[in-house]
């Protein structure tokens, strides 16, 4: 069926029905698998929706509908795509998660051996053909940001630490010409990018 039906326990009387346009694969009510579900919202997770979203590859999006089931009449609140076909989804109020969620990693708790906690502590170390660059990322710039002396045949490891100590201030890092993707740096964390220069020249980072 391509609808959600609301009925009363005990009498099994149909109270309301609302179309969801596609076959429903799964339903999710926050806390629905618990002893005391919250019962205000329902999420219809649909399947076989080939005509709905832009076909950009072998795996297409499926629609999901967020429905308010708290009143006498159900109300469609949101219709949005999901990737794949979700099974056995769960949801809880954000208030259960927010108080204990990590806002950022303290630099004092960063035990990565390549961490750099201040701009002055960054630098370049060469061991044969291996070059290690310890650098920081902060709003506005990387440091060090002018790297000279790297040669063909070198393998360069950029160890980048985001020294921001504020929530949701992430930075990205990538080296032009690298055959690996860039990295996202959450505040207080260190990531490493490997790069092998293929030709002489100037390479932006």
Give the number of other Cβ atoms within 10 Å of residue 170's Cβ.
Answer: 14
pLDDT at 50: 76
State pLDDT tens for residues 104-145.
999 999 999 999 999 999 999 999 999 999 999 999 899 999
Q: State pLDDT tens for residues 167-177.
A: 999 999 998 87
How many other CB atoms are found less than 10 A from the CB of residue 88? 8
Higher pLDDT, 187 or 54: 187
User: pTM for the complete prediction?
Assistant: 0.68
Backbone angles phi, psi at 168, to 5 degrees: 65, 25
Domains and CATH numbers, the chain: 3-100 (no CATH), 107-195 (2.60.40.420)
Burial of 26 (0-12, 13-18, 19+ CB in 10 A): middle
**Residue 61 CA to its chain's centroid (Å):** 17
Q: Report pLDDT for 60.
A: 79
What digits encode the pLDDT tens for the residues 68-89?
999 889 999 999 988 877 888 8
Handedness of CA 44, 96, 162, 105 (dihedral sign): negative
Among candidates 160, 187, 184, which has minimal Cα distance to 172? 184
């Amino acid at each position: 069926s391509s609808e959600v039906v609301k009925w009363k326990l005990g009498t099994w009387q149909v109270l309301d029905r609302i179309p969801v346009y596609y076959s429903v694969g799964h339903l999710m009510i926050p806390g629905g698998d618990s002893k005391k579900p919250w019962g205000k919202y329902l999420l219809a997770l649909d399947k076989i929706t080939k005509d709905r979203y832009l076909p950009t590859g072998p795996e297409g999006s499926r629609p999901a509908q967020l429905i308010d089931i708290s009143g006498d009449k159900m109300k469609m609140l949101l219709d949005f795509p999901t990737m794949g076909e979700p099974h056995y989804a769960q949801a809880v109020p954000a208030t259960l998660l927010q108080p204990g969620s990590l806002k950022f990693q303290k630099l004092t708790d960063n035990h990565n051996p390549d961490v750099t906690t201040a701009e002055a502590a960054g630098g370049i170390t060469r061991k044969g053909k291996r070059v290690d660059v310890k650098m920081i990322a902060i709003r506005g710039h990387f440091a060090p940001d002018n790297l000279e002396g790297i040669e063909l045949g070198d393998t360069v490891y950029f160890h980048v630490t985001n020294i921001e100590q504020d929530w949701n201030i992430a930075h990205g890092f990538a080296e032009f010409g690298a055959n690996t993707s860039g990295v996202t740096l959450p505040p207080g964390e260190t990531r490493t990018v490997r790069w092998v220069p293929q030709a002489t020249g100037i390479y932006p980072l």
